[in-house]
Amino acid sequence: MTTFRFLTFFYCLFLSSSIFAQGWQMLDSEPPFLTHHTYGFGYEGKAYVIQGNSGNPLWLFDPADNSWERIGDFPGPPRGFAVGDYWDGKYYYGFGNGNQGSALNDLWVFDPEDQSFTELPSCPCPGRAHPAFIAHNDKLMMGTGSSDNGDLSDWWEYDMITQVWTQKQDIPGGRRHHPFFFAAGNSVFLGGGHRNTWFEYNLDTEELTNIDNTPQGRVAGTQFNWGGKGFLLAGDDAGHDHIPDDETFMAYNPGTMEWEFFPPLPQGSRWANSSFIIDDILYHFDGEDYDNPADARTIWTFNLNELNCLPAGNLNATNQPDGSVELFWNSNDKKVADTLKYRVQGDADWISIIDASPVVVLNDLEDCQVYEYQIVTNCDSISTPSPVFPFVSSGCGACFDLDYCEPQEFEDLFTLFIDKVGINGNDNFSGDDEGYGNFAAPGSEPLPIGGDFDLTVSVNQLAGNPRMKAWIDFNLDGIFSDDEAIVDQSLTEADLSASVSIPATATPGNSRMRVSFGTAPSGDPDVKPCNDSGLFVLGETEDYCVELSASTNTDDLNTQGDFVAFPNPFKELVQLETQLPVHDNYTLRVLNTIGETLYSVDNFSLSENINLSHLSDGVYFLQIEDEVNLHKVRVVKQQ
């Protein structure tokens, strides 16, 4: 039984835009600035944004053409690390660090109707940067943050009607800054900010109550209220590392008093990012991405209505011993029904199964064929599709049909990696695969049993005691044995080139090759291929399929001597050019990559065109034989 745990090789071929989390869409425009602690809000189909630094320009965003227009400047003192929130048609903004270095305590309100700012009474409290700041039910609750003398734990109420500030009881759990905050019902909520405690504050009773602290000391993201829930988007953990991807989009549900997790941000987290909502469309932008700074220029959107009908998740596929494939996924418990759609990759039409259970067994699939499937979640008023999940049916040979051991895990130390693997000049430029890349694919590179092939491997850098080891499963038993090692040597430069011999005793068929690179203990260690016995301290492993071919005359399977197929790649027709004797007693066989005859033609003449229009895109072999000759040439069908 084979489960497709790793499908790296499919990304560029099959997933295209659906590789990203369902619902997130990247705009084709960028904001005219890149900074942090920017604040904005949606109003009557547009958004108003106060830039985080550089004089705090005021911008108008129009989603009709994704345009940005500078319409003025914030009139108060220039600042960074300010804070803002929207309530009842107006936007409240203030605090932060002034350009002269002193923390500010002023408060302003912006009216989008006439695009005017009005200064309100300042807080009779220490100035501060990035405090909690929640506008709700004609109150503005403000507290904690970083003052000129350190972090704070105080808690203040501003009454929007009377314009009076009143100090309340301090927030327990320690002084904090850059917390998260939101509102729902008649309560406001805050937590994190380098402290693990989270609270609900009732505006009527002024009672503080602890709530679930799943986000722990999370800091420096954006937040918003929608649908009676409080949402957190991006940010850092308490140690200022980006939070894990699966925590980048989450919400607190006051009804259940639990945290819910939603499709993560496609490019991961950011520090001090920004957001606004226009007509239930969430916009995420700005901030800092520590790992890929340029990514912070992108704007991502999410239709929040899709949260009422989240797509199925964790799609997977498992090959069964009887040749069937079991598809399974996590279904949305709020759905009305799931529709399963599957097809051969590249086909125009889907095969649909209505009201599918979350485990479906498919029979009578074509052998060694790339398929893909998708789950459409149907709710009362909306349907949402899952990402497309590719899988390969059984019959491809050992490389796909056997369970090979998991490679060594390298945790988070991915500073050393395999940059390129080449077989007979056919190179795969993989780059950093974060510890493991599975490039096993149908249409494997043919290698002649009893012959040699050229293996080249390039790595990004050398460190410590760098070593390379590779194996091929020559007997197709699903195990990388010690006597199946084809490379085992220390590295003195980043490029390795080796001529590898295929033993004459190898079993014909589709097999797996594993290439491992990393730093090893000193000396001459016996590096193993599996996770439970690996010795590399850090590095990377990559897997490939190879076709162990027992055919004769395999000096060049693309242009075998004077035996050439053209055009190659082809779309429909292929013609052979050869110096073989011309007669009508040849047999033509069309083979797949595991050597199975798809069909044959007797009494074939070498002058005939070969019509292969009925075949799917992929790699095939044309074999010509008579009583004294057997020649094979590899061809590629590609529309």
Tens digits of residue pLDDT in 245-284: 989 999 999 999 999 999 899 999 999 999 999 999 999 9
pLDDT at 171 exceeding the cut of 60: yes
| pLDDT score, position 605 | 84
Q: Which residue, 108, 140, 145, is CA-closest to 130?
A: 145
Choice among 68-72, 339-343, 589-593 with the minimum mean pLDDT: 589-593
**Phi (first) and psi of residue 261, to 5 degrees:** -115, 140
Distance CA 621, CA 600 (A): 12
Evaluate whether 421 touches 427 at the Cβ level (below 8 Å): yes
Fold for 559-637, please state it. Answer: Immunoglobulin-like (2.60.40)
CB count within 10 Å of CB 35 equals 17
Judge if 34-309 and 559-637 fold alike in CATH terms: no
CATH architecture of 311-392: Sandwich (2.60)
Higher pLDDT, 195 or 462: 195
Q: For domain 401-549, which CATH number applies: 3.30.70.890, 3.40.50.300, 2.20.25.240, 2.60.40.770?
A: 2.60.40.770
pLDDT at 412 exceeding the cut of 60: no
b/e burial code for range 58-72 (CB count within 10 A of at least 16 → b): bbbbebeeeebeeee
Distance CA 438, CA 544 (A): 7
Evaluate whether 152 touches 142 at the Cβ level (below 8 Å): no
Q: SS3 of 483, please?
A: helix
Tens digits of residue pLDDT in 479-513: 999 999 999 998 999 999 999 999 989 998 889 99
Q: SS3 of 14, please?
A: helix
Distance CA 146, CA 155 (A): 13
Give the residue extent of every domain in the chain: 34-309, 311-392, 401-549, 559-637
Residue whose structure tokens are 């504050």: 201
Instruction: Please enumerate in sequence order all residues whose Cβ is within 8 A of that of 219, keeping only pairs 6 or more positions apart, or say none.
Output: 177, 178, 179, 180, 192, 193, 194, 235, 236, 237, 238, 240
Evaluate whether 550 touches 449 at the Cβ level (below 8 Å): yes
Q: Which residue, 620, 549, 623, is CA-closest to 587?
A: 623
pLDDT band at 629; cut points 50, 70, 90: low
| pLDDT score, position 552 | 41
pLDDT at 325 exceeding the cut of 80: yes
| pLDDT score, position 525 | 72
**Phi (first) and psi of residue 320, to 5 degrees:** -100, 155
pLDDT band at 179; cut points 50, 70, 90: very high
Measure CA of the first residue to CA of the last residue in the chain; give whole Å.
33
Fold for 34-309, please state it. Answer: Neuraminidase (2.120.10)
The string of DSSP codes covering 220-268 is: S-EEEEETTEEEEES-B-TTSSBPPGGGSEEEEETTTTEEEE-PPPTT-
pLDDT at 585 exceeding the cut of 80: no
